[in-house]
Structure 1
Amino acid sequence: MQLSFLAAVLLFGISADAFPAKHASPEPFLTQLDGSSWTLGNNVWNLTQESTYGVKLMYKGRDCVGDAAGHYVSYNGAASNLNWTSASITKRGTYRGKKFIDIAFTAVEGDMHWVVFAGMSGAYQYFVNRALPVLGEFRTLWRLDNVTFTRGRTDIKDEELPPLKDYIPQNKVQDETWLRPDGSGYITKYDFTAWSRNQDFFGVYGEGFGSWYINPGKDYYNGDHLKQELMVHRESATGDVVQLNMIHGTHFMASSKDLLPEGKIWGPWLWYLNDGDKEDVAQRAAEEFQSWPYKWLVDEEYHSRGIVTGRLTLSDGRPASNAAVFLGDPDPTKTTLDMGTDYYYTTYADKSGRFEIPNVRAGTYGLQAWSNGSSIADVSTTFLVNKVTVKKSKRTNLGHLTWKLSPKEKLFQIGEFDRYSYGFSHGGAPYQHGLVAACPADLTYTVGESQTSDWCFGQTYRGNWTVRFRTSGIRESAAPELIVSLAGYASGASSNIFANGVQLGNMTSGSAWLPSDPSLYRSATAAGEWHLLRFPFDKSLLKDGWNDLTFNMVRNTTWHGFMWDSVALEC
C-alpha cells in the first residue's frame, strides 16, 4: 500500500524538519504536516508554517530564518498576532505558461494568501479582511537570520544594520534608541524609515541572499504622499533582522483609527528572494510595476477600475504646477494622512496643472490638492472637489477646476507651503535621531535680509524665535492674520506667540486642534502630521517701520517640539 506524505507523517512521526530542503517538482505545493503546521513552496524555496509563525524558510540549501521568529501577521502594535486555523488551496491556474496555486491561511480576522508560481523565487501575498478590529497598525513581516542578512535597503538608505553588541542597555535613551558606544551618535530602528508610496523595493540582504518586498500597487496603504514608515531594522531583544511590510502603519502619525470594510484587500505584493543582487531585484520591480494590477488575481472588484483626470488652475490664473493631488474619502472628516478605511491614490500635477490617476477602483471619492512648493509655494489653501464617481473602464474627466486663493496680500513668508520642512536648516536631512537638538534656543530672522536656510527646521528649546519685518501704510480695511503651517508637532512643548509684545495665541499639546505625532523624536526631519493654524489679530498691533513677531517657547521636552513648514503674515 502506498502512503500519502501526510499519512506517513502521522504513522511514522516524521517531523517538519524532515521535509526536504528542495522539493523535487517545480510545481508549487501545499502539504499539511499535522493539525497546525504546513509546508508550502516550490522547487526553489519552501516554508514550514505553524499556527502563528513561518518558522523555517529553506532557500539555496539554507534555513533563512534560523533562530529568528520567522514570518507572521499582526495588528495594533504587535499586541495581536494572527493564528491560522486552517490552510487550503483556493485556486489553481496557469498564467503566462506558469502554473500557480493560491493558498489561503485562515484566521478569525481574515485570510492571508500566498500565490506560489512554479519556479518563482518567492511568492505573491495579499490579505483579505474578515473581522479585523479598528486599526491602528496592521503588518506582515519577516524576522530572519542575522548572519545571512546583514544589510537593509530602502529607496533612500542602503547600509549595514548596526551590530547587536552596540545595543548597550545603559545607553538606551528612549524607545528602540541607544547612544552609540563611542558617543558619536545614536542607534535607532527609525533611521530606516522611508516614504511609503515612493518605494521601488525594500528589504534585507547579505552575501548570496536577499529578501525583498515589491509593492507596485499602493492603493491599499493608508495615508497620502507624506506617509512614511519604518521598513527594516534589527530587533534589539533578539538580534533578528526585521523586514516590515507596514500595510496599515502609524509610526509617524498623530492618530489612526479605521474601521475596515469586510472584504478589503491589502495587496497583492511580491515577496522576492534572490542572491542579494540589487540590479536583479530592481529589474524585477520594474516588471512588477508594469504588470500591476495583476491579471492572475480572480476578483471582480479588484479589476473594476477607471481613470480620473483634470486640470487645476489657481483663481489668479496661474496653473497649479506640481500640486499634490490626493483621491480619498468623500465628505472627508479626517486629514488625508489619517485616512485608511478604503483605497487611496496619489499623484502630482504637471507644470500646466494637469493630472491623471489611472487604475482607480470603482467608487466615490473626494479629491484634494495642495501646494507642493515651487511656483505655487505661496498657496496656503487646500482644494477640494467632493463626490468624484469612478466607474469600471471609464474616464472621469473633472475638466477645468478653479482653486480659490486667499484674497489677502502677504507681508512676509518664511519657507514654502508644501507640508515639508524643506529649505530650512537641517530640513529633509537623512533620518537621524535627535537632529532637532542642533537647532538654536534663540533665533532672529529679518525679512528681506535673512535666507530661508537661516530658519531651522524644528524648535525644541525654551527661548525666543523672532521675525523682524517692516510695514508701511497698511490699508484701512486690512485684517492681519498669522498663518503657521507645521510639518509636524511632538507633544511636551508650548509656545506663546506675540506681535510687538502682545500675545496673539498659543501652540501647545493637549489641544484638539494640535494633536501630537512622534516625528521629531523618531528620526524624521522632513514631516510628521501636518497642521495649519491661523491667528487673526487687530491691525492696530502693527506699526509703520519695524515690527517683531515672536514664538516664545515656554515649555519643552527633549527632542519634542515644532517642525516648521511655513510662517506667513497676511493682511
Structure 2
Amino acid sequence: MTVETSGWPYSFAASEDFPKSNQRGMVYGKLLVRDRFVDSTDMPINGAYVGLAPPGEVGSWQRECKDYQFWTTTDENGVFSINNIRTGNYNLYAWVNGFIGDYRNDSSITITPGCNINVGTLVYEPPRNGPTLWEIGVPDRSAAEFYVPDPNPQFVNKLFLDQPQNKFRQYGLWERYGELYPQGDLIYTIGESNYSKDWFYAQVPRKKEDNSYEGTTWQIKFKLEKVEPSATYKLRIALAGASLAELQVRINDRNKPRPLFTTGLIGRDNAIPRHGIHGLYWLYNVDVAGSLFLEGDNTFYFTQTRSQSPFQAIMYDYIRLEGPNTGSIV
C-alpha cells in the first residue's frame, strides 16, 4: 500500500482524463485557530483537516459529490501541503477537531499545470460570543464519546467485542434506549452527570407497547448563580448526524407552545441503522435572551419530535452554553 501511495498519480494511465504529476498543482500554507476565550495567541492545531473542493458556501464540501476534492491534515505547527491537485477552480475549506464550525477562505484558487501556490497563514475564528458556562461532549463531528450501550445478546457481532472504539457497530442499539428509559426520558445534570455514561449516543424515538413510536424530550439541568436579564446568551448545538428529524429547544417550560428554537425537518444520512457514529455535520447557534433564565436552577428541553420510524433521530456532537461577552478574555 505504501508503495502504491507513493507512486500516485500513476504515469502509465493513457487516458486524457487522468492528468500526470506535472499536469497537476500544489497548494501549501499554515492554518491557525483564533479563540481568545481559549488562548491569547493564534493556535496551531495538529491534525486539522484542510482541503480544496468546488466553490460553494461554508461547509458545502460535505454535500458535493460530482467533482474532485483534495484533503490533507496539518502538522504540529499548523503547516499543510495539498499535492497533485487537478486543474480547476476551488475554494479552500477546513475544520478542526476541538473547535466547532467550518472554515472557508473567501478567495477562489485556480489550479494550473505545475503551479505551486502559497496561501500564507490562514486564521480560522470558530463561532464564539462569550465564555463557556458549560459544555457537553467533544467537538469532533462524532457521537463516539457518548454512551454506547451493550448490544442485545441475540444480535451480537463478535468481530467488534474486543474493539471498544467500534462498540457502536452493533445491530439494534437504537432499541436499547427504550429499555433504559421505558417511561421518562434522559435527564443530564451539569456538574454531576458524565456524558460518556449518562448521555445516550443518539436521541431516538421510544418504542411503545403497540409497536408504534413516540418522540422523546431530553433535559439538561444547570445552575446559574448570576443572570444578566438584558444580555444575550448563546446556545451552540452541533449535530453529528440527523435523519428525517426535528429538534425543538425550550427553556424552563417544556409545554410552551412555541419553542425557543427548531431545526425544522432535517437530515437523510441514516447513520444510525447503518451502525455509524456520524453523518453530515450540522451547527446551530441559538440566541437566548437573559430574561429567559432564572438565578439558580434552569432546564433546557431538547425534543426530537418526529417518530414515524425508529430511525428518525439525531446524534449530537457537542453542546455549549456561552455567557454574554463582558470583554474578559484570556
TM > 0.5 fold call:
yes
Deviations 1:450-480 (A, max 9, x none): 2221211101123331111222334566312
Give me the whole-angstrom Cα distance separating, in 2, the residues matched to 1:333 and 1:467: 30
The answer (yes or no) to whether the contact 2:230–2:289 under 8 Å persists in 1 is no
Greater strand proportion: 1
**Aligned equivalent of 1:180:** none
Distance 1:444 1:400 in 2: 44
The equivalent of 2:310 in structure 1 is 558
The structure 2 residue matched to 1:504, chosen from 253, 260, 280, is 260
Q: Look up the match of 2:161.
A: none
Q: 1:113-141 CA deviation, whole Å, 9 max, x = no partner?
A: xxxxxxxxxxxxxxxxxxxxxxxxxxxxx
Relative distance call for 1:430 and 1:437 in structure 2 (3 A) is same
Q: TM-score if structure 2 supplies the norm length? A: 0.76
- 1:538: how far off? 1.3
Structure 1 residue 381, shift from structure 2 partner: 2.8
Shift of 1:402: 1.3
Distance 1:537 1:569 in 2: 9
1:403 and 1:463 map into 2 onto residues whose CA distance is 36
In structure 2, the CA distance between the partners of 1:507 and 1:330, relative to structure 1 (3 Å rule), is: closer
Checking the alignment, whether the CA contact within 8 Å between 2:228 and 2:291 is kept in structure 1 is no
Partner of 1:286: 2
Structure 2 CA distance for partners of 1:370 and 1:436, relative to 1, 3 Å: same
Contact 2:59 2:102 in 1 (8 A): no
Which residue of 202, 205, 211 corresponds with 1:458? 202
For the pair 1:437 / 2:192, whether they are aligned, the reply is no
- Compare relative contact order (CA 8 Å, sep 6+) and give the higher one, 1 or 2: 2
Larger radius of gyration: 1
- Over the matched positions of the two proteins, sequence identity in percent amounts to 28
Distance verdict in 2 for CA 1:300–1:489, change over 3 Å = closer
Q: 1:334 to 1:475 in 2, by over 3 A?
A: closer
Q: What amino acid maps onto 1:413 in structure 2?
A: E
Determine the structure 2 residue equivalent to 1:310. 29
The correspondence for 2:113, drawn from 371, 374, 392, is: 392
SS of residue matched to 2:62: coil
Check conservation: 1:499, 1:549, Cα contact below 8 A: yes
Match for residue 448 of structure 1?
191
Is this contact kept in 1: 2:189–2:222, CA < 8 A?
A: yes
Q: Residue 242 of structure 2 aligns with which residue?
A: 489
Indicate conservation of the 8 Å contact 1:411/1:568, yes or no: yes
Q: Per-residue deviation at 1:481?
A: 2.3
User: Which sections of structure 1, spanning at least 5 residues, go unmatched?
Assistant: 1-284
**C-alpha distance in 2 between matches for 1:393 and 1:313:** 27
Q: Please tell me whether the aligned partners of residues 203 and 315 of structure 2 are also in contact (alpha carbons under 8 angstroms).
A: yes
TM-score by length of 1: 0.45
Describe the shift of the 1:507–1:300 C-alpha distance in structure 2 as closer, same or farther (beyond 3 A). closer
1:244 alignment partner in structure 2? none
- Number of aligned residue pairs: give it: 276
In 2, the alpha carbon distance for the partners of 1:485 and 1:357 equals 28
Q: What's the secondary structure of 2:175's corresponding residue?
A: helix
Please give the alpha-carbon distance, in whole angstroms, between the structure 2 residues aligned to 1:390 and 1:542. 52
Q: Secondary structure at the match of 1:336?
A: helix
Could you give the per-residue CA deviations for residues 78-128 of structure 1, whole angstroms, max 9, x where no partner exists? xxxxxxxxxxxxxxxxxxxxxxxxxxxxxxxxxxxxxxxxxxxxxxxxxxx
CA distance 1:478–1:318, change in 2 (3 Å): farther
